[in-house]
A and B are shown apart, each in its own frame.
Chain A
Amino acid sequence: MKCEWVQQNIVFYVYDELADDARHELEQHTARCKECAAELESAKTFRGEFAQFPVQEPNPSVLAASRMKLQEALESAEQGGWFHRLVFDPVQWLNQVRFAPALAAAIFIVGFAGGIGATYKLVNRGTSDQGNKNGPAIANLASIGTISSIQQQPGSNQVTVKYDTLSPQERTGSLGDPDIQQLLLYAARNNFNAGVRINSVDLLTQQPNNPHVREALLYALRYDSNTGVRLKALDAVGPYVKNDVQVRDAMLESLMSDSNPGVRVEALRLLQPCAADSSVRIVLQRLAAKDENRYIRAQARSMVGQLPEMN
């Protein structure tokens, strides 16, 4: 969706004269493009200010004079020659030769041939889009087959994600690009390639304030089969354990049940600032009483010992 098209159609949008699909496309674009969003706002303001003025009805005498002039122009218009009638008056010409049934058949044949031609062109264009580096907008995640690589260009926030749909696709954009974010979130949850999952989680850690990103990180912490991915997700959400209950709950789950001792130890370390929280205290008491890991048992005991007693 190009800015040029949007800016040409902003006025139609503001006056509700755009078709529904075009309207939707324009709204999607202005949600991402600051310049076009500002232009849209300006157009809305312009319309709003003019709406304050009353609508002026045309002067009756001016209206009557205009109608008389139109009538005179129609009456004095000259008819064209045979060539003019053949080209510009086809309905009248067809009536004269009485070709209505044949015309209907001809229209049907032309329409059918046109449909076949358009379909052929659409199919060809679809296969030739393989080499297009910034392909069509990602409309349907279910059409993605595999994400084969995710790479960040050194020294910048440009990310190149290579993924397969029906044919290989590649998208380059900044970390703030919603399409890139969408791909990274998908890769973190759904890719069977652990290396790609690790890279995507690594890049997502740069935007942990985004609620969707945090949700993906917590999912990785809870359910990813690869310990490296879980550790990376744990380190990313660690700073938010004090203020985010969901992060705290996920970390407590990891502390209690992760299969890897390194993940449990790290979760215990990150939970120390909120040891006084009631849910954390309960877990620490349970671990202090009967955890199989000697270090975690001892640490939990020490942390519980330092807590003030609850009445």
Chain B
Amino acid sequence: MQKTITKFGLLAVLITTLCGAQQTSIQKEGSNWVSVVTGSLAGARNLHIQVEIGTVHVQGGSTQGINYVIRNRSYEGSEDRARKQFEGYKISANVRGDTAFITGEWENGSPHKFNSEITVNVPRDLELVKIATDGGEISTTGISGRLEAESGGGMVHLDDIGGAISAETGGGSIDVGNVGSDLTVRTGGGPIHIGSAKGKVVAESGGGNLVLVSGSAGASLQTGGGSIHVNKCTGEVKAETGGGSIDLGDIGGSVSMETGGGTLKVSSASGPIKGETGSGNIELWGVPSAHVETGSGAITAKFIRGGNGTSNSELETGVGDITVYLVSNVNLTIRASIEAANGQQIVSDFPEIKIASEGGGQWGPKLVSAEGSLNGGGPVLKVRTTMGNIYFRRAQ
């Protein structure tokens, strides 16, 4: 019996030691009441934070242990009601094995007039930080390990994170600075902005603009609606939007892009392009091959000489002009047609491309076609518009 009591006593002391000294104070700020809980945890390689409400900030630095400050704010007017709310929201912090846990949960359902904010300072070399909040913003900076973050809804801000990241929010914007590994972010609705990612990027939004400034290992970007902009990315890029424009800069790989309606633009790509828009213009500047299609809109494409194994290309529009710029050393076999030309024509700077027309009679639409081989021929370039002009120009 005495041994049992001693064991429990030692355990209590140990837990208290591991928990650190947790202090609580209550003060009035303006018309609100604020409860501040501070504490520290030592001897952990991982951190799990799970709260039912509130914002979570995790900042990595040179600190040795884990130090936290929890500010609970009650919007009730009277101190008594505020204290009841503070007492109803249970906060616990402890270490089990090599993982530190900070939890916050309601005993009897969450009131409306209450908010919470947790700020945790951690050593930079933590291996894993895992954050879950039922509703609130998440902000994490300056850790070299992995991050898993989940919010029922609220903005997510991540920066200077070395390991792989998985972050998800039910709604709200996601803002990522520089990350050193794979990045997977999802939001139910809201814009996503990513600065620089050294690993593969997967970004999805129910609706909102997506921006990727620099990627190093490919990207998959998807949004229910809104524009997608990629400044620079090495590797394959896949971009899809329910409606909005897609604007890609320098891509060191292949491209696949699709939009329900909006313009598609690629500044340069080292791999083949595949693109589709319900309606909108398409601009491709400096690509080896492309399969692109628009229901309505102009297509402008500049082809450069590709390596061995360059595939065939196809440019198609229902209504609109197609302008193709060809560099002098590109080897292609051209097949172009205007299905129903009514005054429209095919114009070419290249004498090798022969133009012919047939049908139509005196008043009806004609089929205008053109064929030819440049520099001995090569992959086939099919250019087709139902109604519009087609131009083959020499690239500068």
Residues of A within 8 A of B (CB): 146, 148-149, 192-199, 225-231, 260-266, 288, 293-296, 298-299, 301-302, 304-306
Contacts and interface: CB of A to CB of B under 8 A. Distances in A.
A228 B262 contact: yes
A197 B278 CA distance: 13
Interface in B300-346: 319-320
B132 to A, nearest CB: 14
Nearest to B344: A168
A293 B207 CA distance: 13
Contacts of B177: none
B112 interface: yes
A231 B189 CA distance: 12
A146 B387 CA distance: 13
B101 to A, nearest CB: 24
A296 B280 contact: no
Contacts, number: 162
A231 B152 contact: no
A192 B263 CA distance: 13
Residue in B243, B280, B298 whose Cβ sees the most chain A Cβ within 10 Å: B243
Which 10 residue pairs across A and B have the least CB separation, nearest first? A227-B225, A262-B207, A194-B261, A195-B280, A228-B244, A295-B153, A295-B171, A261-B189, A226-B243, A262-B208
B135 A263 contact: no
A299 B135 CA distance: 8
Contacts of B242: 227-228, 260
A298 B263 CA distance: 36
Contact of A198 (B169, B170, B191, B245): B245
A196 B113 CA distance: 46
30 contacts: A148-B297, A192-B296, A193-B280, A194-B260, A195-B261, A195-B281, A195-B297, A196-B297, A226-B262, A228-B244, A228-B262, A230-B225, A260-B224, A261-B171, A261-B206, A262-B206, A262-B208, A262-B226, A263-B189, A266-B208, A293-B171, A293-B188, A293-B189, A294-B135, A294-B171, A295-B152, A295-B154, A295-B171, A302-B135, A305-B75
B216 interface: no
Interface of B: 75, 111-115, 134-135, 152-154, 169-172, 188-191, 205-209, 223-227, 241-245, 259-263, 277-281, 296-298, 319-320
Contacts of A195: 245, 261-263, 277, 279-281, 297
Given A229-B244, A301-B112, 18 more contacts: A149-B297, A192-B296, A193-B279, A194-B262, A198-B227, A198-B263, A227-B224, A227-B241, A228-B244, A231-B208, A260-B206, A261-B207, A262-B223, A266-B189, A266-B190, A293-B189, A295-B172, A298-B153
B241 A264 contact: no
A84 B188 CA distance: 95
Contacts of B280: 193-196, 198
A134 B12 CA distance: 87
Contacts of A193: 261, 279-280, 296-297
Contacts of A196: 279-280, 297
A149 B319 CA distance: 12
B245 A306 contact: no
